[in-house]
């Protein structure tokens, strides 16, 4: 009977602990992401493909931007913060691409840190150079979304600019309405593991990606003050003049 009571007590305690454990597990894991995008420089690359004149554009509506390194007001690191070049691990691969004399043309190389959520809540990240009045059109623009569902999942949706020739002549206003005209839509998905370099291929582009798990240090809680260790307050000292007056009054009595 005693063993049965002990077993029931253990089960009740386990049920009481479960909610807090599930809450901790719901916190997203942080990863360092390093990405290299490059273009196949050969003039024959992709010539056998029949690319559409206007492939459309990725959905930018929910995309977030990479931000400069730093922390928010609470001291916590900001999501999607860029990492310094000293933390990059694919620099040898990037330098090797540059030495191919144009056969493989590097377009992008950055690394950042972010929390990775399940597919239904993961946010796409905008990739590409800043654009605006007076700035040349970036050679590419697109999105990358990284999610986790047992394995890590990477989704790329890119526009490679001026990748195909078009016969239609447009004025500047018409070109502004169809920014993807003459571009090639490059999409790819890959399931991967943390700490492994993966390659995503396309007839016109390629991507190297490395995702590494980050062990985030929990914030250090403030140490409580032990009343026994508190410094006692010294009583105010009586001045010498007051002591003499008190002694004189006693003698007079």
Say what the pLDDT of residue 237 is. Answer: 53
pLDDT bucket at 13, cuts 50 / 70 / 90:
very low
pLDDT at residue 93 above 90? yes
Q: Say which range, 44-58, 145-159, 234-248, has the weakest mean pLDDT.
A: 234-248
Domain encompassing residue 85: 28-213
Q: Is residue 19 part of a domain?
A: no
Q: Is residue 1 part of a domain?
A: no
Task: Give the total number of structural domains in the chain.
Answer: 1
Say what the pLDDT of residue 69 is. Answer: 81
Q: Is residue 21 part of a domain?
A: no
pLDDT digits 0-9 by tens, 17-28? 333 323 345 789
What's the mean pLDDT when you consider all of the chain? Answer: 77
d(CA 92, CA 46): 27
Exposed/middle/buried for residue 158 (C-beta within 10 Å: 0-12, 13-18, 19+): buried
User: What value, to the nearest 5°, has the Cα angle with vertex 36 and ends 50 and 216?
Assistant: 135
């Amino acid at each position: 009977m005693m063993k049965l009571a002990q077993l029931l007590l253990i089960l009740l305690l386990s049920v009481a602990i479960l909610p807090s454990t599930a809450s901790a597990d719901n916190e997203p894991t942080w990863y360092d992401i390093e990405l290299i995008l490059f273009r196949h420089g050969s003039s024959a690359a992709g010539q056998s493909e029949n690319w559409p004149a206007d492939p459309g554009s990725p959905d930018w509506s929910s995309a977030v931007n990479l931000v400069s390194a730093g922390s928010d007001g609470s001291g916590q690191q900001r999501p999607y913060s860029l990492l310094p070049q000293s933390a990059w691990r694919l620099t040898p691969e990037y330098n090797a691409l540059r030495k191919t004399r144009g056969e493989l043309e590097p377009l992008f190389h950055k690394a950042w840190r972010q929390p990775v959520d399940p597919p239904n809540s993961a946010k796409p990240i905008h990739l590409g150079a800043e654009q605006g009045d007076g700035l040349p059109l970036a050679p590419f623009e697109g999105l990358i979304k990284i999610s986790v569902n047992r394995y890590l999942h990477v989704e790329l949706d890119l526009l490679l600019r001026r990748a195909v020739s078009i016969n239609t002549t447009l004025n500047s206003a018409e070109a502004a309405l169809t920014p993807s005209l003459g571009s090639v839509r490059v999409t790819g998905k890959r399931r991967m593991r943390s700490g492994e370099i993966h390659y995503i291929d396309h007839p016109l582009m390629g991507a190297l990606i490395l995702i590494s798990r980050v062990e985030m240090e929990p914030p250090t809680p403030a140490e409580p003050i032990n009343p026994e260790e508190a410094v006692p307050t010294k009583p105010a000292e009586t001045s010498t003049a007051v002591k003499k007056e008190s002694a004189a009054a006693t003698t007079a009595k």
